[in-house]
Amino acid sequence: MASLKDLKTRIDSVKSTQKITKAMQMVASAKLRKAQEAAESSRPYAVRMGKVLNGLGAAYATRDDAPKLLSGSGSDQTHLLVVATAERGLCGGFNSSIARFARDHANDLLARGKNVKIITIGKKGNDNLRRSFKDNIIEHISLREIKKVGYADALTIGEKVIGLFESGEIDVATLFFSQFKSVISQIPTAHQLIPAKVEVDENANSDDVISYDYEPDEATILADLLPRNISVQIFSALLENGAGEMGAKMSAMDNASRNAGDMINRLTLNYNRQRQAQITKELIEIISGAEAL
Amino acid sequence: MAEAIKVEIVSPESLVFSQDVNSVTVPGSEGYFTIMGEHAPLMSILKPGFVTVVQDKDDSSFYVGGGFVDVSPDGVSILAEIAKTSADFSVEQIEQEIENAKKQLQLSKNDEDTGVAQAVLDGFNNFADEVKNMKPSGF
């Protein structure tokens, strides 16, 4: 049985832990708001880009002269997995769920006899995947020094991916990130970057399609658009991740604070019981001492 | 009076501008062109340069670093990787850009290149004036 003094020390230490988790929760909620704003303000660009690309891509997808980024390299032997996670932990299962999702995917590909290459963005995903796919990781991109993810960061990553594709080192590229649904729910998502996924709207009426003038011409615009689209996808994935990380951290820290509160209650109860027991014991001693006289 | 036209300038990081305007001039890949109300649907790649929107008599310009423009009956969407107003630049940055533009102007060999470089230079010179007029009043 722990002594009174031991209990007192434990209560104090749990209390200071609770202070820290509470502070972290507040920091996370402030950052979450910023991250959400950033994610939201990037949406108009991504939406419009998607719209234009779908319109152009649908017409080109089945043609022989379609750009390689759209039609693929004709093989699907080598897969590149771009796994985006957070730089920091203490955010519940956020990082491990992305990593697990990517790992399952990689194992599945390996089982089918494909080659797998991995680029990790963010330290936590790298730590996690390094254990099982040490030889498959070709590069790690750290965002540790970057306070606010800018489009330029996504552009560099995008160029790297396109470079690998054009030099024939990869055939298919897939991006793994966590989609931000709400503070308590982030969904690990895989998104195929190369070849570009074009959603053909089946319901589109031919009357709805506006005949555009193109300058210089459709093919050039499409070739210009596809690489941009990859960077935009990566950018919005990074922003979704940013918001998701903060959301996950917020709820993880909220849980931790609550657990600490429960623990303090239990310990305090224990402490008081012991204190009373001791007082009773002392009283009995005094009384029996007085009776003996 | 031409019909008003809805113009949106979007960069990946934010919606930079969204208003009804009289006309908008954009740096198309084949040269600058102006879009007014009821323009035929058009899609064009943009070169780095200046987008100028004219609103009644006021006009404002934005530096865009490449992108594309989508003119549809719903309005004009300008998707630019970089879209900045003069307020986003510091005086030093503008001076730097003016230097670059001057170099580009000297390097350009044909009329077309010269025209583009000159337009960029003029745009940054305008930015420089705007910034100089604006900054002192801010203090």
pLDDT tens readout for residues A49-72: 888 888 777 777 666 677 788 878
- Cis omega (within 30 of 0) on the bond before B41? no
In percent, how much of chain A has pLDDT > 70? 94
- Mark yes or no for CB contact B43/A216 under 8 Å: no
Tell me the β-bridge partners of A120: A83, A140
pLDDT tens digits for range A174-216: 999 998 888 888 899 998 888 887 766 555 544 455 677 887 7
| Cβ-contact B76, B4 below 8 angstroms | no
User: Which candidate, A3, A11, A1, places its Cα nearest to that of A269?
Assistant: A11
CA neighbor of A11 nearest in space, from A258, A253, A263, A254: A263
Give, in order, the Cα–Cα distances in Å from A254 to each of A16, A212, A245, A289.
Answer: 15, 53, 14, 52
Segment B29-87, tens digit of pLDDT: 888 888 888 888 888 888 888 888 888 878 888 888 888 888 888 889 899 888 888 77
In tens, the pLDDT along A22-32 reads 999 999 999 99
What integer is the mean pLDDT of A157-180? 91
Residue A19 has a pLDDT of 96
Average pLDDT value for residue range A153-168: 90
- In this prediction, residue A266 carries a pLDDT of 96
* Predicted pLDDT at A62: 66
A91 annotated active-site: yes
Residues of A in Cβ contact (< 8 Å) with B41: 210-213
DSSP B17-38: EEEEESEEEEEETTEEEEEETT
Of A132, A251, A276, give the one whose Cα is nearest residue A185.
A251
Q: Per-residue pLDDT for A147 more than 90?
A: no
Of the pLDDT bands very low, low, confident and very high (cuts 50, 70, 90), residue A7 is very high
Over range B133-137, report the average pLDDT. 57
Instruction: Note whether A216 contacts B41, CB cutoff 8 Å.
Output: no
Q: Do the Cβ atoms of B11 and A45 come within 8 Å?
A: yes
- ipTM rounded to 2 decimals: 0.74
Residue A121 has pLDDT above 50, yes or no: yes
Closest residue, chain B, to A231 (C-alpha): B12
* Of A150, A215, A235, Cβ closest to residue B44: A215
Catalytic residue among A14, A38, A70, A91: A91
CA gap B83, B15 in Å, rounded: 9
| pLDDT for residue A196 | 81
Q: How many helices (H) and strands (E) does chain B have?
A: 2, 8
The Cβ-side half-sphere exposure at B107, using a 13 Å CA radius, reads: 8
Interface with chain A: mutation pick from B43, B47, B70, B74, highest number of A CBs within 10 Å? B43
Strands B58-72 and B5-10: unpaired
Confidence (pLDDT) at B11: 87
Specify whether the CB–CB gap between A121 and A85 falls below 8 A: yes
Inter-chain residue contact A45 with B10, CB threshold 8 Å: yes
Strands (E), A11-157: 78-84, 115-121, 137-141
On the question of pLDDT at A218 being above 70, the answer is: yes
Residues of A (93-152) whose Cβ lies below 8 Å from B: 150-151
pLDDT at position B139 is: 44
Q: How far is B11 from chain A (nearest CA, A)?
A: 6
Chain center to CA of B26: 6
Name which of A36, A42, A215, A233 to mutate to probe chain B: the one with the most chain B Cβ atoms within 10 A of its Cβ: A215
DSSP state of A183: T
> Hey, are the CB atoms on B43 and A46 less than 8 Å from each other?
no
In angstroms, the CA A181 to CA A270 distance is 41
CA A133 from chain centre, in angstroms, equals 19
pLDDT averaged over chain A? Answer: 87
**Is the pLDDT score of A115 beyond 60?**
yes
Lowest-confidence region among A86-90, A194-198, A226-230 = A194-198
In angstroms, the first-to-last Cα distance of chain A is 33
Helix axes A4-60, A218-292, angle to 10 degrees: 170
| Per-residue pLDDT at A264 | 96
Comparing A54-68, A225-239, B63-77, B124-138, the range with the smallest average pLDDT is B124-138
Rounded Cα gap, residues B24 and B80, in angstroms? 15
pLDDT of A290 strictly over 90:
yes
